[in-house]
Structure 1
Amino acid sequence: MYLPEDIDDILQSAENTVLEFKEARGNFGDGERSDYCAAIANMGGGNLLLGVSNSREIVGTSVYQGTLNKVPQEIYQKIGITVAVDEVEHSKGRVVIFNIPPRPVGQRVRSSGGDYTYPIRRGESLGEMDDATTRKILNEVQPDFSSSIVEDLTIEDLDTLAVENFKKQRAEKTKNTGLITTSIDQVLLDAELVRDGKLTVATLLLLGKAQKITNFLPQAEVIYEWRNDPEQIHHDFRKSWRAPYFTIYDDIWDTINARNIRVPYQEGFIQQEVLAFDEKACREAINNAVAHRDYSISGRSIIIHASPESFSVISPGGFPNEITAENILHAPPHWRNRLIAEAFDRTNLVERSGQGIDNIFETTIRQGKGLPDFNGTNNSTVQINIPATVRDAEFVKFLEKIVNEKQISLSFDEIYELERLREKKVLPVLRHKEKFLKVGIIEKVGKTSGTKYILSHRYYTHRAKPGVYTRITGFSRDSKKEMILNHIGREGSGRLQDFLDAFSDLKSKDISNLLSELKSEGKIRYEGSRRSGCWVIVSKSN
């Protein structure tokens, strides 16, 4: 609880203290409140005082009188952080003070209901957070567990084969064969696997002897389970590894590949085949799990589930801060175990840091298998599910035909957006629509605010599925008009709200267009006033 003298101390505090003053004599909007609290949190925390002018003069405020106890919960619902709010009856007037904590490490505080998304203070006013500040915050990392020192771990505790494989992988990546003969000490120093002369968790997991891993981090285990039926509970085959990763990465893939299946698909009159488990995609998913799992969670291992239909990698620990299943393809790289990720980046195990998930998605799209997903992911687990069966090989062939005819190239982002359109069939927003429309990959359907995008008639003809195109572009609109007629005929009349309830995917203007078309066709008419009238069927006798 603040006292009047505490307010005096705050008003006399140094300029570098994060403080905001608002007179707010009788009103302070919820949106403005959210913006200021989020901005102060994003600047490292501080205080917001209501009833104080910019010149630090107390003028008094009447806001939140009798309702102050509700304000912290209201703020939490808007910006997701707990803010303490107090009131002080100063001799010069009532002051309301917000004590705002700093944002979490590596996270921005988002405002809601105000003028800004991620506000910060700019001089005497607020502004949207700039890109440089955003990158700086997102690049903050929690303490890197993999860089922690393992006491009593020595050079003698390293696996000779793991070290040799690590050298070879580095030599291949750098095209410097001299690295193969480098001493172990120098290898560790060059790879920054040593901290203050001592070996790290990353060294143990990547190069340490199996017994040492069992002693220090028994949860550092990879388990593979094969099921002939993905729905069955028991596994038909199981194998596990608790050993330095640079001795087991090939054996893990060989074990997966031993049960690989050639998936047939028809291309015209020719029977083609593609492997259910793509080596590049599977290795990337496992490498990601090893580099990003939470090793502080004991009793849980990395689990690989495989069946003729799917391939999943499940790792302990949820997504890092600011990463979600929705933004993972475009968010800046985040490393839970940075030292392990950097060790991979120094070898031939990965092509480029931060590109693993992109590679997985691009591979499955190009093979006609559709999109991977993260179903099963929660705050304590990340699960990536990679499809193993071909869903639409003709889609890839269609894109290749367009690319060759038009002499264009398609980036990963463009291919990904087109694959989303293929799966959804209709999308209201496309980032690359102008290019797609120009080369004939997509078409527009609908008018004004109801405009949406579909793959072109040429695609559905290519797939010998013209009926699907008709259903999406024509039949669906006619069916909605038929439903409107059926409703009016059954109920005797119909109002706009009735049809808004019936067609939740349409806006008021879209439904008005359908009603206007039916009126122009002489099938319905409007009776009564604009406010209380309704639509009725036109009698055939009229």
Structure 2
Amino acid sequence: MQVDDAGLLVNNPGGFIEGISVRNLLSAEPQGRNPCLMDALKRVGLAERTGRGIDRIYEGSLLYGRPLPDYSASNQTMVSLFIERSEPDAEFVQLLAEERGRGTDLPLQSLLVLDALKRSRRCGVAELSEMVDVPRQRLKRTVELLCEAGLVEASGGGQNRSYMLSKKVYGHGGKAKEYVRQTDIDRVRYPELIMKLARQQGRVTVSDVRELLHLPDGDAAYYELKKLKEHGELTLVKKGPRSFYAPVKK
């Protein structure tokens, strides 16, 4: 073990157990090398019989606003853990403490999603799945629960659906400007996303745009389509309840 200005470094001889790698540390089925030793350590409170000690390292880092533990230097002959020395994200820690105080359950998977969005600003489910090593279907449920808790906001629909930390989270950290910047960036991309959908489908309707951009009503969706029509990107086909817009061939 080594502690210096960079952080804490712990090296253990022997590689990961078969089937375990840096990429699946949190998703692989837990197992121990030595069940007898594990039982002894469990009895004195130094280890979990389930083998989920790595979960607790990650959870502790996130709950205290620290960077994620780094196992990237591990190889076939050594497991290397590095925990970077840094100032804790006090606002983030306080937010998590308040959520726990309200009875909001924030398991490790939820904490990993919040941390990923804090670092990457905006992600889709596919990107988040890669970052937190969780299957997409399970991760989607976690993200939607965070949306219901008011910690995450969604925009768009279908394959274009993306997520970012909510106004509540940004405001808690005194980062309202960052929240506004992210939402403005999203609005700038509206025409791009609408045209992409229109080209893929060959047509696009008001309801398509409302679902795609997660807009509050049909009027907002109609306004975005109208702007693209005025700029010569779309043309209105038919009128009335069955109307739709088609890309202008250039």
TM range (shorter): 0.5 to 0.7
Q: CA contact under 8 A between 2:152 and 2:166: conserved in structure 1?
A: yes
Structure 1 gaps of 5+ residues are 1-303, 485-502, 535-542
Residues 241-274 of structure 1, C-alpha deviation per residue, up to 9 Å, x if partnerless? xxxxxxxxxxxxxxxxxxxxxxxxxxxxxxxxxx
Equivalent-residue separation in structure 2 for 1:330 and 1:377 (angstroms): 17
The equivalent of 2:197 in structure 1 is 509
The 5 Å alignment of 1:201-280 reads none
Match for residue 122 of structure 2 among 417, 420, 426 = 426
Equivalent-residue separation in structure 2 for 1:462 and 1:384 (angstroms): 32
The equivalent of 2:111 in structure 1 is 415
Match for residue 75 of structure 2 among 355, 378, 382 = 378
Match for residue 89 of structure 2 among 392, 403, 410 = 392
Q: CA contact under 8 A between 1:428 and 1:452: conserved in structure 2?
A: yes
Q: CA contact under 8 A between 2:69 and 2:84: conserved in structure 1?
A: yes
Question: Post-superposition shift, 1:456?
Answer: 0.7
Question: Post-superposition shift, 1:310?
Answer: 1.8
Equivalent-residue separation in structure 2 for 1:371 and 1:432 (angstroms): 19
Q: Does 1:307 pair with 2:17?
A: no
Q: Which amino acid aligns with 2:167?
A: H
Q: Does 1:453 pair with 2:149?
A: no
Residues 27-61 of structure 1, C-alpha deviation per residue, up to 9 Å, x if partnerless? xxxxxxxxxxxxxxxxxxxxxxxxxxxxxxxxxxx
TM-score scaled by structure 2? 0.66
Q: Which amino acid aligns with 1:525?
A: E
Equivalent-residue separation in structure 1 for 2:65 and 2:199 (angstroms): 37
Q: Which amino acid aligns with 1:415?
A: L
Could you say what secondary structure the match of 2:91 adopts? helix
Structure 2 gaps of 5+ residues are 126-138, 201-208, 214-223, 236-245
Q: Flag the structure with higher helix content.
A: 2
The equivalent of 2:176 in structure 1 is 466
Q: Does 1:362 pair with 2:59?
A: yes
Distance 1:336 1:461, change over 3 A: same
Q: Which amino acid aligns with 1:320?
A: I
Could you say what secondary structure the match of 1:362 adopts? helix
Q: CA contact under 8 A between 1:315 and 1:381: conserved in structure 2?
A: yes
Q: CA contact under 8 A between 2:234 and 2:247: conserved in structure 1?
A: no
The equivalent of 2:217 in structure 1 is none
Match for residue 525 of structure 1 among 233, 243, 250 = 233
Q: How many residues align?
A: 205
Q: Which amino acid aligns with 2:91?
A: E
State percent identity of aligned pairs: 28
TM-score scaled by structure 1? 0.33
The equivalent of 2:151 in structure 1 is 441
Residues 354-385 of structure 1, C-alpha deviation per residue, up to 9 Å, x if partnerless? 13212211111111113212221233332222
Residues 387-428 of structure 1, C-alpha deviation per residue, up to 9 Å, x if partnerless? 3313422112112223334x3332333333322332332232
Question: Post-superposition shift, 1:451?
Answer: 0.8
**Structure having greater relative contact order (Cα 8 Å, sep ≥ 6):** 2
Q: CA contact under 8 A between 1:367 and 1:390: conserved in structure 2?
A: no
Distance 1:339 1:473, change over 3 A: same
The 5 Å alignment of 1:160-239 reads none
Equivalent-residue separation in structure 1 for 2:195 and 2:54 (angstroms): 36
Q: CA RMSD in A?
A: 3.5
Equivalent-residue separation in structure 2 for 1:517 and 1:531 (angstroms): 11
Equivalent-residue separation in structure 1 for 2:227 and 2:234 (angstroms): 8
Q: CA contact under 8 A between 2:121 and 2:164: conserved in structure 1?
A: yes
Q: Which amino acid aligns with 2:180?
A: T
Distance 1:338 1:432, change over 3 A: same
Return the index of the structure with the highest Cα Rg.
Answer: 1
